[in-house]
Structure 1
Amino acid sequence: MHILGNPIRTAIVDDHDAIRFGFRGACEQRGFEVLAATETVSQLIEQVPAGQIDVAVLDLSLADGSQVDENVRKLLKHGAQVLVFSIADKKFQVQAALKAGAAALVRKSQSMDELLNAITLVADGLVVNNTETTAVIDADSDFKRDANLTVREREVLSLYASGFALKQVAHALKISPSTAKEHIDRVRHKYSGIGRPASTKTELLMRAIEDGILDDSAREL
């Protein structure tokens, strides 16, 4: 998690030398700290300890033949939020990346300033629901599948995704912290079961907004 006032710690995984070189220079001019620039996710994980990267920028298609959804999940597990930076010409890959938990998509046709601005938002814990990600979500019925949450699960999700800690959720709803956690675990399981994973709190916020449990202003909390 990025600490306010500290440089944003970034990394990039892209198999084009020019992209990695240009990204490093732009980040350093903006005051970001670039911890690694590698051709594969495995190389990045080997070079940088877990929990050190605030935002990892990932290309959709890498020369090692790896799958983008697996790459996104590996980076999330390594403690980094993921921003996809790609020509994004294959819709199914974009969908797979977003379903796996990528926070945003920025096309390589956009400016480097737009990429850096998106990195800043993602580092601050916001889901960047720009026109690129919205178009993919709207076109994909999987994102609209109903998780069939109970009334209590929706109440717990609403409070937890909006920023409450589990103990605060439990206090507000007059239930035990363990019960609150059980509800969140069931919510995660239900979303995962319909192809809409929500393994992080940011992803839970995204699902709550998508399903109308929270309004879009919750992104700014």
Structure 2
Amino acid sequence: MIVDDHSVVTAGVRYWCGQADPPIELIDANARLANVWTGPGANADVVIFDLQLQTDQQEFTELRRLVDSGRRVVVYSQDAHNTTAVRCVSLGALAYVTKREGQEHLVAAVRAAAAGSPYTPPSLSGALVADDDPNRPHLAPMEIAALRAWFASSSKQMAATMLGISARTVDTYIERVRVRYANAGRPAPTKSDLVARALEDGLITLADLNNHPI
């Protein structure tokens, strides 16, 4: 279901969803958030929520209400400020897509959200990288590279070969990452935990995982 007060936006999103393979059925809330809770909207797999923030912060409260009730939300907004994107993700949105990012990223975000997974489009990735939230540890470039290589490989030895370093060095980088996340209060003791953290923080995307299944 889409909640947006611009009919031209809704028409465009409906067209994109219809062109998706397989097609995505879109329900129009007619710009009324109340319709998310009743009728067909109550059973929608994903809520595409237009965040405008033109007058007050009430929409953040509504976003939190949706998330707390178990709804899977993709925020779709013309607001491209990093702080807004990071706050929406912190409140539980599975993706933050700006209206300039278009069909490819919105459809991918909806698909991911329907599966209960986060999605990181380019704007959100940049916002997360620039974020100075102490709960989001800052990783060194080689630590990030080691993570990505390991996620794309079946072993640390293969990751080491990809990077041209030793497996022991890869292991050291990964352990450093685990320590950083543990210190930030977001422990990641397993590989799958680290994948989840990397997705949350925009270090990798679902497309990366699809290209290199773990």
- The interval holding the TM-score normalised by the smaller chain is 0.5 to 0.7
1:55 touches 1:83 (CA, 8 Å); kept in 2? yes
Question: Which of 21, 43, 46 is the equivalent residue of 2:38?
Answer: 46
Q: Give the CA deviation at 1:57.
A: 1.0
TM-score with structure 1 setting the length? 0.57
Q: Which has the higher strand share?
A: 1
Question: Which of 24, 48, 64 is the equivalent residue of 1:32?
Answer: 24
Distance between the aligned counterparts of 2:200 and 2:105, measured in 1?
24
1:53 touches 1:79 (CA, 8 Å); kept in 2? no
1:60 touches 1:94 (CA, 8 Å); kept in 2? no
What is residue 108 of structure 1 aligned with on the other side?
99
What is the root-mean-square deviation of aligned Cα atoms in Å?
Answer: 3.7
1:19-168 correspondence to structure 2 within 5 Å? 19-30=9-20, 31-48=23-40, 50=42, 52-61=43-52, 65=56, 67-142=58-133, 143-144=135-136, 148=183, 154-155=188-189, 158=190, 161=193
**What percentage of aligned pairs have identical amino acids?**
24
TM-score with structure 2 setting the length? 0.59
2:120 touches 2:199 (CA, 8 Å); kept in 1? no
Structure 2 gaps, min length 5 = 138-180
1:104 touches 1:128 (CA, 8 Å); kept in 2? yes
Structure 1 gaps, min length 5 = 1-10, 163-203
Going from structure 1 to structure 2, the CA distance change for 1:116 and 1:42 (only over 3 Å counts) comes to: same
Distance between the aligned counterparts of 2:30 and 2:192, measured in 1?
35
Distance between the aligned counterparts of 1:138 and 1:67, measured in 2?
27
2:112 touches 2:118 (CA, 8 Å); kept in 1? yes
Q: Give CA deviations for 1:85-114 in whole Å, capped at 9, x if unaligned.
A: 122233332222111011222221123243
1:15 touches 1:63 (CA, 8 Å); kept in 2? no
2:112 touches 2:119 (CA, 8 Å); kept in 1? yes
Higher Cα Rg, which structure = 2
Give the letter for the 2:17 counterpart. C
Q: How many residues align?
A: 163
Going from structure 1 to structure 2, the CA distance change for 1:40 and 1:32 (only over 3 Å counts) comes to: same
What is residue 7 of structure 2 aligned with on the other side?
17
1:57 touches 1:83 (CA, 8 Å); kept in 2? yes
